[in-house]
Amino acid sequence: TQLLEQSPQFLSIQEGENLTVYCNSSSVFSSLQWYRQEPGEGPVLLVTVVTGGEVKKLKRLTFQFGDARKDSSLHITAAQPGDTGLYLCAPRNSGNTPLVFGKGTRLSVIA
């Protein structure tokens, strides 16, 4: 089992602020996925990072995969209340292996 640590666990910020959340492991991942889950809904895939050092941007969200492919970060610029949710990372697996999530970072953006 690949142990994932996400930090911080909880984050409450004001609208307009920037933030970074982290996903770390001692294991090397072939690729990693970030999801966002809003209250009362299922998780929605945001991005998959594959290459060490890769940076992907999704509007105000910037995802980075560590050079050694053991860690990843998500940076949100000018956070908005719509960014509120649970951010989850999971190593991407193939075949019949299921996604196993970290504990997540629960973000609250206050207007």
Partner 1 sequence: GAVVSQHPSWVICKSGTSVKIECRSLDFQATTMFWYRQFPKQSLMLMATSNEGSKATYEQGVEKDKFLINHASLTLSTLTVTSAHPEDSSFYICSARSSAAHTDTQYFGPGTRLTVL
Q: By CB under 8 A, is residue 3 in contact with partner 1?
A: no
C-alpha 54/C-alpha 66 separation (Å) is: 7
CA angle 46, 48, 52 (to 5 degrees): 135
Q: By CB under 8 A, is residue 45 in contact with partner 1?
A: yes
Q: By CB under 8 A, is residue 63 in contact with partner 1?
A: no
Q: By CB under 8 A, is residue 82 in contact with partner 1?
A: no
Q: DSSP per residue over 82-104, as a string?
A: GG-EEEEEEE---TTPPP-----
Interface residue with partner 1 among 14, 82, 95, 111 (CB under 8 A) is 95
Task: Find the helix or strand (DSSP H, E) in which 44 lies.
Answer: strand 44-49
Q: By CB under 8 A, is residue 103 in contact with partner 1?
A: yes
Residue numbers of the site for partner 1 (CB under 8 A)?
Answer: 37, 40-45, 86, 88, 92-96, 98-104, 106
